[in-house]
Amino acid sequence: MSDPKQKKTIKTIKIDVDKCHGCRACEMICSAFHAEPKYSSNNPARARIRVIRDPLRDVYVPVYAGEYTVAECAGRDKYTIEGKEYDECSFCRASCPSREDFKEPDSGLPLKCDMCEGEEEPLCVKWCTVDALVVEEREEEVEEQEEQEDLEVGLESLADKYGMDKILDAVARLSKKN
Amino acid sequence: MRYAETGFNLEIDLTRGNIERVATDPRDTELYLGGLGTNAKILWDRVPPDIDAFSPENLLIFGTGLLCGTTATGCNRTIVTTISPQTKLMAFSMMGGYWAPELKYAGYDKVILRGKSPDLVYLWINNDKVEIRDASHLQGKGAIETAELIKKELKQPKAQVSAIGLAGENRVYYATVEQGRSSASRGGIGAVMGDKGVKAIAVRGTQDINVARPAEFMALCYEVLDYIKWREDNPIPGVIPILAILGSPQEMAIHDEKWHTENFSWGNARLRRKGFWTEEVSDEWLETMTKARTRLISCYNCPVACGAAISMPGLPTYMMKCFTKLTYTMAAMSNLEFGLTIAQRATEYGVDGYSTPQVMAFALELLENGILTDKDFPGMPQDNEGRFFYLLDKIVNREGVGDILANGTHWAAEEIGNGADAYAHNNIKKHEQLPLKLSMLNPIYFLMYSTGEKINITQIEGQFPQAAFPKREHREKFVTDWFQVPDDRFKQYFLDWEPRGENSNPYYPTPEMACDIVDWQERMHYIDDALGMCAGLSSFHLKPPYHIHNIPKFLSAGAGFDMDEDKLSLAAKRYRTLVRAINIRRGLRRKDEKPPEDHWKKRFPELEKELLDTYYKFKGWNNEGIPTKDSLHELGLDFVSEDLIQRGILAAGEDTLSEEASAISDRQQN
């Protein structure tokens, strides 16, 4: 067995909510980058970043899609920061049943930010010319862990929704057809 | 598959409550592009000249630009088109914000309203689900308040809402449609929406907008984005701050208002105040702005923050746009604090920031000069600022004299009589203008003011410097990286343009050059309005990121049809001519095409006649400003000439261009 601890470059996106103008270019470019084929379509509802935005109360919070979760929080708290009230969800990255964010609009499958793998920097950062989003890299020792594939996350959420039996039936039926 | 556009319009008959999703003809997109272009085609086809603004047969079209919803930066404009109650001509005011992309994502290119709802309603467009909903509980509510209430009751914080305030409900001739941080303000579009009984249109969309050649399209987007960043770091030297950078214009970020406050006129477009911008005023206004401005804000997918959220003590927050920052202040001869305070109420009411302050200053001038009397203003406060708040309330509620004033200075003067028309002195085509009163006639501006059918100078000017630069070396430096010109001859026009002497206003640029320059300026605005580009990144500015050389590529890669500069110019000319034809059919003639009498002190009737003659010929219009049969034929608009001939507006055999004029036009277009 090799040492489970490995050096890994961790990318952190630093979010400065005070600099955000609310243009949502981050959402737009994210949805375009993740389209198939790449850049062939635009639809912020597919974005893995959302600007939680309430201009009249001066609330601008860019949030990234994180882990899929099957259950919503029991109680959702409110924070007051510098006189402005925020839902707890405004800072939460979960793809969760309580909101429509971070799910494919047609299938309902969960979305997760992948830092635009293959690009020199996440495109939301590149398109945020006011520097509300800035990327920072640091090295950290982390335990090696298998990343869950998109497919697996999707299947898991489908299983949560419909039950594993139905999923297996459907897969069996589809493979017969093909 | 349709690219850039959805290929569907939403047709709503308010009288019957009927909603239809109608497929559009892709050939129309190639001919008229989208936005303003296809709006104009629909208006020509479906609204004959005997239909007035408040007739149920009038259409109110909310059209999205062809490239809205794509990654093209700053492409987010909604073009609202109808017949104006004030000018009785085609109105096509536009707004930025977030509404147009949202409508595209919901699956529609346009919302076309016809008929009248018996009760006040709002529309809720949620992808394929479209509802007409009761709005009786929203009656009298402010435009911003309405948007908030609708989002709350629908539990849809991400919905985008276009709404009217009380002014629209009461059919004030200069009522607006408010949305996000923007509004469609000119021409009284909000009054038509109110007349149709529609308080608001809320939209939410979660569908895709496709582009034809993604990699190519993205490369173009990056070119533009990089250039925007470069321009931000490299402002143009030697011009006023708002022209040096991009934005439309960046009124909220830039504090130095020396140019506006000293060059624009105060009161009822009367008084130039040279030396107004003292250090004291500068400090006071900076403090007011700093306290009021909570954040600079952008429209959808645009890095340039031209707007600001404004919070005045004790008042709800609102979003300020462009020059409304100063119009109330200057009309009332007051300070910035007053301007920002009254603009909050005006925004909720939903009234145009150009017309409204001017109408109020006009009313007070009539009072000072005994044409109106104290009896016309019962209960009016004594203090200056109080009187403006009083008048705003009276106008929007159409109470007493406010009912007359609500029709704008032209119609109010006509109704009041007794010499009141001399005070309605700052109109073009019955529409209030920016309060500019200058000395020497500028031939380029003469043509733009006279013939612009958006009837608003900021919506035709741009690209070419507003005045000659003092030194040749500055001009030479300016043209070195001026790649946006359609042809190098424009550089020469500018290089030879002197502030004084033989090559100066009014005789230089020559009429031929002036025609060429104005045609370019206007063309770029019309292109923007079809594509949904913001003029602040394009037509309004010197050396903008979008220009005649890259826009055709955006269209080819984005919308998927072959486009080049000539084809694009021809398309823009086609729907620009269609706008003219709509207005000609509604009675517009040469006599209407003139700037306010007092716009310049030094006027040159013979030169002005020559300018207009030359421009009409250049455009392919006859001496009355009517497009000729031949020029309509060249644009594929034979259906227009047939209609105009049938109505007796054009004679069947006349009006071919003289050879001389054709030669000029050929030379300059090639």
DSSP B121-144: EEEEEETTEEEEEE-GGGTT--HH
Answer yes or no: is pLDDT of B192 > 80.
yes
Where is A165: in which H helix or E strand? helix A164-177
Q: How distant, in Å, are the alpha carbons of B279, B433, B537, B578 from that of B256? A: 11, 23, 21, 41
Contact residues, B window 380-439, toward A, CB-based 8 Å cutoff: none
Identify the three-state secondary structure at position A136. strand
Span between the terminal Cα atoms of chain B, in Å? 35
pLDDT averaged over every residue in chain A:
90
Distance CA B400, CA B405 (A): 9
DSSP state of B119: S
Nearest CA of chain B to the CA of A126: how many Å? Answer: 10
Nearest CA of chain B to the CA of A7: how many Å? Answer: 34
Chain A residues touching B157 at Cβ < 8 A? 54
**Contact residues for A75 (Cβ-Cβ < 8 A; gap 6+):** none
Instruction: Work out the pLDDT band at B185, boundaries 50, 70, 90.
Output: very high
Q: Which amino acid belongs to residue A74?
A: A
Query: Shortest CA distance to B94 belongs to which of B171, B186, B190?
Result: B186
pLDDT averaged over every residue in chain B:
95
Distance CA B576, CA B359 (A): 30
Of 1.10.569.10, 1.10.3720.10, 3.40.190.290, 1.20.140.10, the CATH number of B237-432 is 1.10.569.10
CB-neighbour burial class of residue B663 (10 A; exposed 0-12, middle 13-18, buried 19+): exposed
Q: What is the mean pLDDT of residues B334-343?
A: 97
- Asked if B159 and B130 touch (Cβ cutoff 8 Å), the reply is no
The pLDDT value recorded for residue A10 is 83
DSSP state of A70: S
Most B CBs within 10 A among A40, A85, A101, hence the mutation to make, goes to: A40
The pLDDT value recorded for residue B434 is 95
Q: What is the mean pLDDT of residues A87-102?
A: 92
Distance CA B140, CA B120 (A): 11
- Which bin fits B121, alpha (ψ -120 to 50), beta or left (φ > 0)? beta
- Asked if B478 and B494 touch (Cβ cutoff 8 Å), the reply is yes
B353-369 tens-digit pLDDT: 999 999 999 999 999 99
Instruction: Work out the pLDDT band at B654, boundaries 50, 70, 90.
Output: low
Distance CA B546, CA B539 (A): 8
Answer yes or no: is pLDDT of A4 > 90.
no
Label the pairing between strands B129-134 and B160-163.
unpaired
Which residue would you say has higher pLDDT here, A106 or B380?
A: B380
B238-265 tens-digit pLDDT: 888 778 888 865 678 888 899 999 999 9
Q: How distant, in Å, are the alpha carbons of B121, B125, B404 from that of B15? A: 11, 18, 29
- Asked if B349 and B166 touch (Cβ cutoff 8 Å), the reply is yes
The reply to whether B226 touches chain A by the CB within 8 Å rule is no
H helices of B382-471, where? 384-397, 401-405, 408-416, 443-451
Distance CA B23, CA B46 (A): 17
**Contact residues for B371 (Cβ-Cβ < 8 A; gap 6+):** B416, B418, B419, B420, B423
Residue of B nearest to A123 (CA): B222
Do B303 and A129 lie within an 8 Å CB cutoff?
A: yes
Reading the block at residue B229, the tokens are: 């960043």
Do A55 and B215 lie within an 8 Å CB cutoff?
A: no
* CATH (residue range B441-669): 1.10.599
Distance CA B66, CA B559 (A): 8
CB atoms within 10 A of CB B30: 15
Most B CBs within 10 A among A18, A59, A129, A130, hence the mutation to make, goes to: A129
Per the DSSP assignment, residues forming a β-bridge with B20 are B11
Q: Which amino acid belongs to residue B248?
A: S
Phi, psi for B10 (deg, rounded to 5): -105, 115
Considering only the beta carbons, identify the residue of A23, A32, A130 that sits closest to B299: A23
* ipTM for the whole complex: 0.93
- Which bin fits A115, alpha (ψ -120 to 50), beta or left (φ > 0)? left
Q: What is the mean pLDDT of residues B607-636?
A: 98
The pLDDT value recorded for residue B239 is 87
Considering only the beta carbons, identify the residue of B210, B218, B297 that sits closest to A55: B297
Per the DSSP assignment, residues forming a β-bridge with B319 are B309
CB-neighbour burial class of residue A167 (10 A; exposed 0-12, middle 13-18, buried 19+): middle
Distance CA A132, CA A15 (A): 6
Q: What is the mean pLDDT of residues B540-557?
A: 97
Distance CA B464, CA B543 (A): 9
Reading the block at residue B118, the tokens are: 């018996």
Instruction: Work out the pLDDT band at B323, boundaries 50, 70, 90.
Output: confident
The pLDDT value recorded for residue B652 is 77
Answer yes or no: is pLDDT of B668 > 50.
no
Considering only the beta carbons, identify the residue of B148, B207, B211 that sits closest to A56: B148
Do A21 and B301 lie within an 8 Å CB cutoff?
A: no
Residue located via tokens 């689900």? B129
Identify the three-state secondary structure at position B12. strand
The pLDDT value recorded for residue B619 is 98
**Contact residues for B370 (Cβ-Cβ < 8 A; gap 6+):** none
- Asked if B384 and B333 touch (Cβ cutoff 8 Å), the reply is yes
The pLDDT value recorded for residue B250 is 63
* CATH (residue range B8-204): 3.60.9.10
Distance CA B175, CA B193 (A): 9
The pLDDT value recorded for residue B540 is 94
Distance CA B418, CA B288 (A): 41
The pLDDT value recorded for residue B68 is 98
- Asked if B353 and B328 touch (Cβ cutoff 8 Å), the reply is yes
Considering only the beta carbons, identify the residue of B215, B218, B319 that sits closest to A55: B319
Instruction: Work out the pLDDT band at B655, boundaries 50, 70, 90.
Output: very low
Q: How far is CA B85 from the centre of its chain?
A: 16
Distance CA B213, CA B278 (A): 54
A27-84 tens-digit pLDDT: 999 999 999 999 999 999 999 999 999 999 999 999 999 999 998 888 889 999 999 9
- CB contacts < 8 A (A, B): 93
Most B CBs within 10 A among A43, A46, A116, hence the mutation to make, goes to: A43
Distance CA B261, CA B265 (A): 8
Query: Shortest CA distance to B484 belongs to which of B227, B197, B101, B130?
Result: B227
Distance CA B244, CA B435 (A): 22
Reading the block at residue A76, the tokens are: 């959702």
B383-442 tens-digit pLDDT: 999 999 999 999 999 999 999 999 999 999 999 999 999 999 999 999 999 999 999 999
The pLDDT value recorded for residue B661 is 43
Residue of A nearest to B319 (CA): A56
Q: How distant, in Å, are the alpha carbons of B44, B296, B455, B473 from that of B48? A: 7, 43, 21, 54
Instruction: Work out the pLDDT band at A178, boundaries 50, 70, 90.
Output: low
Q: How far is CA B550 from the centre of its chain?
A: 23
Per the DSSP assignment, residues forming a β-bridge with B10 are B21, B111
Q: What is the mean pLDDT of residues B173-193?
A: 96
Reading the block at residue B626, the tokens are: 């009517």
The pLDDT value recorded for residue B539 is 96
Distance CA B304, CA B576 (A): 28
Domain ranges in chain B? 8-204, 237-432, 441-669
Instruction: Work out the pLDDT band at A159, boundaries 50, 70, 90.
Output: confident
CB-neighbour burial class of residue B188 (10 A; exposed 0-12, middle 13-18, buried 19+): buried
Contact residues, B window 62-101, toward A, CB-based 8 Å cutoff: 69-71, 73, 98
The pLDDT value recorded for residue B554 is 98
Q: pTM of the full predicted structure?
A: 0.94
The pLDDT value recorded for residue B172 is 98
The reply to whether B267 touches chain A by the CB within 8 Å rule is no
The pLDDT value recorded for residue B508 is 97
